[in-house]
């Protein structure tokens, strides 16, 4: 098991090394207010990242969304996706799944805040059919694993990933249908 403190420290070092300007970290009150609005707690590692590293602005490819603040945030994107999903003929966004990174092209990295390990999911609206569950994939079985992949530079999203056989691709999230139906 990876110690949260060690991982947060390594993520912070990588964030400082790869981002020219990091936003200030979210305050304890900001995290508590976001959790109250969301109706669920953030996994401890995710909360630590927002409180101790920065309020977004670092991470794989397109950078983590800020948790709170002006403009697009993880909180506002969650509310928007949940609302749109509820109004859609094909519901697609489960409760407790917080978008943390916008990959572009209608794709998000999202953390299942209700899972014990904070599973990181890939939402790809382009894969959606008449079943919203078809758009969900497991990117990493835990947030810690996902961050380790980023730190090692071995994610499926890296530019030359197709040239490497050892790059794990996301697999369908088998719990998607039941979680969307909740």
User: Residue 143 is part of a domain; what is its CATH number?
Assistant: 3.40.1580.10
Angstrom distances, CA of residue 29 to CA of 36, 151, 153, 182: 10, 29, 33, 29
Given a cut of 90, whether residue 42 has pLDDT beyond it is yes
* Of 26 and 157, more confident: 26
Six-digit token pair at 70?
């002006």
Given a cut of 70, whether residue 37 has pLDDT beyond it is yes
What's the pTM?
A: 0.92
Give the C-alpha separation, 152 to 2, whole Å: 15
Angstrom distances, CA of residue 142 to CA of 7, 108, 116: 13, 16, 9
- What is the reported pLDDT for 165? 62
Give the C-alpha separation, 99 to 157, whole Å: 17
Q: What range defines the domain where residue 53 resides?
A: 4-181
- The total number of structural domains that make up the chain: 1
Mean pLDDT in residue range 6-31:
95
Contacts of 19 (CB under 8 A, 6+ apart): 54, 57, 58, 63
Do 156 and 168 form a contact (C-beta atoms < 8 A)? yes
């Amino acid at each position: 098991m990876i110690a949260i403190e060690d991982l947060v420290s390594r993520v912070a070092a990588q964030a400082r090394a790869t981002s020219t300007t990091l936003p200030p970290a979210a305050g304890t009150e900001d995290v508590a207010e976001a959790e109250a609005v969301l109706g669920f707690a953030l996994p401890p590692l995710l909360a630590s990242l927002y409180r101790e590293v920065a309020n977004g602005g670092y991470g794989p490819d397109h950078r983590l969304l800020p948790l709170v603040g002006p403009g697009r945030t993880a909180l506002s994107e969650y509310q928007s996706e949940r609302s749109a999903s509820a109004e859609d003929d094909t519901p697609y966004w489960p409760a407790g799944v917080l978008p943390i990174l916008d990959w572009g092209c209608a794709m998000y990295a999202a953390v299942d805040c209700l899972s014990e390990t904070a599973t990181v999911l890939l939402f790809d609206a382009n894969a959606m059919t008449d079943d919203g569950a078809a758009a969900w994939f497991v990117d990493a079985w835990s947030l810690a694993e996902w961050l380790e992949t980023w730190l090692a530079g071995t994610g499926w999203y890296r530019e030359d990933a197709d040239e490497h056989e050892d790059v794990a691709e996301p697999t369908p999230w088998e719990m998607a249908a039941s979680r969307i139906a909740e």
